[in-house]
Structure 1
Amino acid sequence: MTYDDHNLASEVTGAEEEPSSSQNVNDIMVVKALKKRGGNRIYNKKHYCLYCSKPYSKIARHLEGAHENKPDVAKALSFPKGSKERKKQLDYIRNRGNYAHNAAVMESGKGELVPFRRPHKEVQGKEFMHCAYCQGLFTRKVLWRHMHNCKLKPGSVTSKPGKNRVQSMCTYTGPVPSHVSKQLWGVIGAMNPDPVTDIIKNDQVIIALGQHLLNKGGPSRKNQQYVREKMREIGRLIYNASKVTTLKKLEDFINPKNYMDTVKAVKFTCGYDSETNKFLIPSLANKLGNALVKVSKLLKAQGLISNNKELVENASKSLDVHQQKWNEMISATALRNISEAKWNVPTLMPFTEDVQKMHAYLNEMQDNWYKSLYENPSVKAWIELTKVCMTQIILFNRRREGEVASMPLSAFLSRDTSDPHQDVDWALSEVERKLYRHFTRIVTRGKRGRPVPILLTPKMLCALELLAKQRGAYGVLKDNQYMFARPEAITHFRDSDCIRGFAKVCGAKCPESLTSTRLRKHAATLSTVLNMTDTEMDQLATFLGHDIRIHREFYRLPEKTLQLAKISKVLMALEQGRLAEFHGKNLDEIQIDPDEKVLDSDEEDFQEKCQADSSIIDEPSAEEILPPTERNEMPPPPSKRHKPLPLDDTSPSVVSTVRPSSKGKVTQKKRPWQQTEVQAVERHMNRFIISGIVPAKSDCERCLRAEPEALKQRNWENLKFYVYNRITAYKREIQRK
């Protein structure tokens, strides 16, 4: 049976809102126990029948005489008279009848509730709640004590402390309001009873927003937690707005006339300080702005559906005003506060040695606990092995904590165990084929619903199979869908706690740096030394669950390192007036010593004179023409002074052009390419010539290492420029054809 949400909130949570005239919570009462003048109790309490909805003083006698054919009644009467089981079953039927009556009273807004025990004085109905197990009506203060000892409590449920937790559970198990879905009622029922929860239950727009987010994200526990957080953010905004403005409902915020009050409420909620122009919680300001936009769009859609022109007009104008004023009033300051707070925060990166120590420690712990669980099964061994495996997977795969911790059991059980296709072996090297068969791959849900892969070693796979096989024997509930489930609960182990705990005991120098986020950045940052192609970088970003643009922007060398180690070279070259010396070089090729003494002009002239007298003249490089840029792209057209000659595609190139001599330097002729050199280059660099891509420095050095004898007189710049000329000749030949 359902009843109005306003009265439900008042009865269940004790809301202080002013009730409507048609449904006044003050009209719902619990009558006190009557006594005679001498102080003796008057036993006139009546219970309502579950089947005929009428009150009776002797409900057990009535059930036995009038409803003995009902299945529940027949089951209760099958036990001997005076037995505990008979009394328990009849009490449960009696409580269910009273519960149905109380629900009808709540829906009508008037009447008397039937409690499990009548109080000493008359009390309003909002001070009582129904037990989630036996459905008896108890006062809020003693409900937790009753539920701890309730005779109908399932044996698998363990008692947990906390009055608020008990009241939240009982709220969820109570009657569901007619305009709220059962799933959303479960989301709201998990909230602690407080003024914010009261506001959420009484505001129809917040209910509609919660249902919208729940429909959009699905019924997963993670999305339910997200919906709960968003609803409470809006609830806190309304709660604080009532203190400093006249806004009382969420619909009042979606009105252009109240926009300045909305800004005032947001600033008050986020702790804005006008003197310092800073928010205490700047991220909350941005979240509230996004939430208000969603609410405006939602109300606009509802207005269009119901043909409510006033609602559509208010929502549309609010969106326009928000677009023009929100950045100026709120978001610009909030984003500036967030950015400034990160300026001088030290960058923590894990040491490779610490990562190795943690890997070794986890491998040792896995062996010990796996052996212990296999030979001497115990709950502790199962729990510890679960924590070790979860941490190992996060560390090895560099996954986000939540992606592994919330991995469902179904993802592990439905993993792909088929043999690799034979045709795939043609595209893999021998080492890659072994790795392909060595690891096991699982796909689970990641950030923004992306599918993210998880690789398992054979040892990890054996441990997870043992955990999945024995989870039922160690108290894991059937309703718990997680692979790394906690016994006697419906949640999973907290991943950050496990990583933090193992980081402290593994002997790491800096255990604070061993977090999943820093480990992910550590892997992505160090991958820059591999000189990966765009395709390979895209594959790494996909495996880590990144967007490639975010990967390139944030997962690189820390900005502090770039500025201190690389950009400082340019500044020193500018300071010493030597920037022209490094013409055509990138930041990695610039070599400049911070302790090097800079000579003034007189000292430099004197040194040049001495060098000329002693015939100590620096020989120019074998390639006088400047090489193209090191990036994997075609360089700009060479100037007239540095114009390269096209090379024939079939014969070695003989470059006889002499660079115009500069003052004080000896010119040198180009050394022609020998046939053996050309063949050595073409064996390794022909793919670049055909594709039209200029090789990188690392590609040229790899070719030099492969042909040390044939190319002993060449350097990487010679190879790069040679390939560039061959590409130019190849393109001209194609154009002629």
Structure 2
Amino acid sequence: MKVKSDPLILALGQRKFDKTGQYPHTHQYIAQKLRELARFVIALQKIDSSIKTLSDCFSAKHWETVISAVKDLALFDNASKFFSKPTLAKKIGHSLKNCAKMFGNNALKTGDRALKERADGFIELYEEEWKDRITSQALESLEQAKYNRVRYLPLVEDVVKLSKFIDNQIEDICKEKIGNKEHFSRLACLCLTQIIVFNRKRSGEVERLKKVSVSNAMKQPSLVDEDVKKCLSRFEQKLCENHCRIETRGKKGRRVAILLTRKMKQNLGILMAMHAELELDTEYIFQKPNTSFPIRGTRALRQLADEADLKHADRITSTTLRKQLATMSQVLDLSESSQDILAQFMGQDIRIHRDFYRLPQSTLEIAKVSKVLHAMNTDMIETVAGKDLDDIDAMDHLEIEQESDTEDGTDDIDDGATCTNIRSCPKKKCGHQPDDDAADDDDDDNGSETDDEGSENEEYLPPTKKKKFGLKNQNKQMGKKTPWSWNERQVVEKEMKLFFDLQKLPGKHDCQELIKKHDVLKRRSWTMVKGYVRNRIISINRQLKQ
């Protein structure tokens, strides 16, 4: 009743509705803001009964009353100087400032100078005192509450188990081939949770996917510009072929992307067919029959996590999954450009001024981010530790859905053979014509007989042109080189990490001891191991210069 009887509170609600009212999920948010102001007016009246409406408090003489009412409402402790509800104090402050401006604008429109002066005086006091008396203490209360708080992330094994559980449930429903509303609701819940878990998206961003958007994205082929495609590794090209990307509205109106694997596209295709079969006239693809709103993603995720019998089902929420991705990404050695790609994909554009409006963002998100998502959802994140997005290439251990007539694109990937840095790649590198350094990296995988035993502790120096020329001729006579497998690379990069960090080459003894220790390197000579370390140091230095 207090909201309906206060014209200024209603005017604020109307303004917010004009701004975001076209999105039904914001209606509850608007109502919450109005209820907060109504509670604030009630708190004012308990202190000063002469205040009848919100506009009555916009006067300099009522400023102390306003401060006291906010503190009472947010449960401020005078002894400790902390708020029990600090966020409420901050929210009321924002709303009060907006209402004071609206009150002043109305006075300006009607030509009432007295009311205009009252509003200006209140705003001036707000600007001068609110930060020190309310905001700073509220922020300090929030920070204090975070100290020594135990933060639990979802277990990777729980995420993997949940993903497999969802896949099995979807397969069972598809086998039954029963097109009733109950099965549709179950399948919609499963598909919704599957996309949230894989993409680590906010649940609201996925649940509000519209049928039109999904239908258009599934009909359009995965088009990648040929010039851009040449700058991607073969593994990344396969990801672009097997994934599609849908854009939706995220927090604060940001445009966020959702990636769909081949299985997800098939599941959504079945869901769309059930839409047509049941003649459901709904706007959202995850909307239950005879309802006005889509399925709540948080509720669906919580329900399936309980059904999957996880060790810590309470940790599986869309927020903790996003924190898990952000935390695990710190294990990777991400460059600034890779951090921007990942942040923009998550809908957290922390570098708005460095937006990639000049780059094909859709291709980058599919090719780069999907590698991390697959690694996390298959419990393989430790295999990509310390790598940048561009370095995650030899991932043949990941199961990427491919058509039967496509070949594996990871078996013959070599360092330096394909340009993966789109920002710094010159045109001459993108036409399958690598520069001299890249060609030297390729040819030198088999090792170099020119590196002698005395180089054990020597500092790394870039090769000269003459040396590169001799290596090329030498390797031409040696015949076809043997590509390094993923396991071989992992062993060398792990055991030789000290040499990578020091930018020095290992000696003959170091390489021979490594070969003896690991059977996977039996087919390699010590010169091949040393050559691989040398090539990786060159590659690392080149990336640092870029």
- TM-score, normalised to structure 1, is 0.49
1:519-545 deviations in whole A, cap 9, x for unaligned? Answer: 112112212222121111110111111
Residue 246 (structure 2) aligns with:
442
Comparing 419-428 and 379-388, the one that deviates more:
419-428
Alpha carbons of structure 1 residues 697 and 524: separation in structure 2 relative to 1, 3 Å? farther
Residue 301 (structure 1) aligns with:
105
Q: Secondary structure at the match of 2:257?
A: strand
Q: Secondary structure at the match of 2:248?
A: strand
How far is 1:282 from its partner?
1.6
How far is 1:675 from its partner?
6.1
Select which of 309, 313, 329 maps to 1:511: 313
CA distance in 2, matches of 1:437, 1:318: 59
Select which of 342, 345, 348 maps to 1:546: 348
For residues 358-369 of structure 1, the aligned pairs below 5 Å read: 358-369=162-173
For residues 273-312 of structure 1, the aligned pairs below 5 Å read: 273-312=77-116
Aligned residue identity for 2:309: G
Query: CA RMSD, aligned part only?
Result: 3.9
Conserved 8 A contact 1:403-1:444? yes
How far is 1:473 from its partner?
5.8
1:627-659 deviations in whole A, cap 9, x for unaligned? Answer: xxxxxxxxxxxxxxxxxxxxxxxxxxxxxxxxx
Conserved 8 A contact 1:475-1:488? no
Comparing 456-465 and 198-207, the one that deviates more:
456-465
Conserved 8 A contact 1:700-1:719? no
CA distance in 1, matches of 2:462, 2:253: 58
Aligned residue identity for 1:310: A
How far is 1:506 from its partner?
2.0
For residues 143-154 of structure 1, the aligned pairs below 5 Å read: none
CA distance in 2, matches of 1:459, 1:325: 57
Alpha carbons of structure 1 residues 293 and 421: separation in structure 2 relative to 1, 3 Å? same
Aligned residue identity for 1:226: Y
CA distance in 2, matches of 1:436, 1:535: 19
Conserved 8 A contact 2:197-2:318? yes
CA distance in 1, matches of 2:212, 2:470: 52
Q: Secondary structure at the match of 2:265?
A: helix
Alpha carbons of structure 1 residues 245 and 473: separation in structure 2 relative to 1, 3 Å? farther
Select which of 282, 288, 293 maps to 1:491: 293
CA distance in 1, matches of 2:145, 2:541: 49
Alpha carbons of structure 1 residues 242 and 468: separation in structure 2 relative to 1, 3 Å? farther
Residue 522 (structure 1) aligns with:
324
Residue 637 (structure 1) aligns with:
none
Residue 35 (structure 1) aligns with:
none
Residue 199 (structure 2) aligns with:
397
Does 2:10 match 1:207? yes
How far is 1:270 from its partner?
1.9
Q: Secondary structure at the match of 1:349?
A: coil
For residues 559-638 of structure 1, the aligned pairs below 5 Å read: none
Residue 452 (structure 1) aligns with:
256
Residue 166 (structure 1) aligns with:
none
Select which of 204, 208, 212 maps to 1:410: 212
Alpha carbons of structure 1 residues 204 and 351: separation in structure 2 relative to 1, 3 Å? same
Residue 35 (structure 2) aligns with:
232
For residues 114-193 of structure 1, the aligned pairs below 5 Å read: none
Residue 527 (structure 2) aligns with:
709
How far is 1:682 from its partner?
13
CA distance in 2, matches of 1:463, 1:723: 45
Conserved 8 A contact 1:245-1:265? no
1:594-641 deviations in whole A, cap 9, x for unaligned? Answer: xxxxxxxxxxxxxxxxxxxxxxxxxxxxxxxxxxxxxxxxxxxxxxxx
Conserved 8 A contact 1:680-1:710? no
Residue 97 (structure 1) aligns with:
none
Conserved 8 A contact 1:286-1:331? yes
CA distance in 1, matches of 2:18, 2:74: 29
Alpha carbons of structure 1 residues 518 and 707: separation in structure 2 relative to 1, 3 Å? farther
Alpha carbons of structure 1 residues 453 and 676: separation in structure 2 relative to 1, 3 Å? same
CA distance in 1, matches of 2:468, 2:15: 66
Aligned residue identity for 2:304: F
- TM-score, normalised to structure 2, is 0.65
1:188-240 deviations in whole A, cap 9, x for unaligned? Answer: xxxxxxxxxx1211211112111111222242112222221111111111123
Select which of 90, 102, 127 maps to 1:323: 127
Aligned residue identity for 1:546: Q
Select which of 45, 62, 69 maps to 1:242: 45
CA distance in 2, matches of 1:382, 1:252: 54
Aligned residue identity for 2:192: M
Aligned residue identity for 2:141: N
How far is 1:332 from its partner?
2.2
CA distance in 1, matches of 2:139, 2:470: 54
1:665-707 deviations in whole A, cap 9, x for unaligned? Answer: xxx9978969689957999xxxxxxxxxxxx996987998999
Identical pairs, percent = 29
1:505-562 deviations in whole A, cap 9, x for unaligned? Answer: 3232222221111111211221222212111111011111112369xxxxxxxxxxxx
Alpha carbons of structure 1 residues 257 and 344: separation in structure 2 relative to 1, 3 Å? same
Aligned residue identity for 1:356: V
Conserved 8 A contact 2:458-2:505? no
Aligned residue identity for 1:408: K
How far is 1:444 from its partner?
0.6
Residue 52 (structure 1) aligns with:
none
CA distance in 1, matches of 2:469, 2:158: 42
CA distance in 2, matches of 1:715, 1:709: 10
Bigger relative contact order (CA 8 A; separation at least 6):
2
Does 2:23 match 1:220? yes
Conserved 8 A contact 1:681-1:719? no
CA distance in 2, matches of 1:681, 1:330: 71
Please identify which structure carries the higher helix content.
Answer: 2
Aligned residue identity for 2:107: G
CA distance in 1, matches of 2:505, 2:283: 54
Aligned residue identity for 1:428: L
**Length, aligned pairs only:** 399
Alpha carbons of structure 1 residues 257 and 451: separation in structure 2 relative to 1, 3 Å? same
Alpha carbons of structure 1 residues 453 and 675: separation in structure 2 relative to 1, 3 Å? closer
CA distance in 2, matches of 1:315, 1:278: 29
How far is 1:280 from its partner?
2.9
- Moved runs in structure 1, 4+ residues, more than 4 A? 472-476, 668-683, 696-708, 713-716
CA distance in 2, matches of 1:682, 1:313: 85
1:314-348 deviations in whole A, cap 9, x for unaligned? Answer: 11111110122212322222222211111122110
CA distance in 2, matches of 1:484, 1:677: 61
CA distance in 1, matches of 2:499, 2:113: 66
CA distance in 2, matches of 1:379, 1:703: 66
Alpha carbons of structure 1 residues 261 and 370: separation in structure 2 relative to 1, 3 Å? same
Q: Secondary structure at the match of 2:331?
A: helix
CA distance in 2, matches of 1:672, 1:380: 67
For residues 378-393 of structure 1, the aligned pairs below 5 Å read: 378-393=180-195
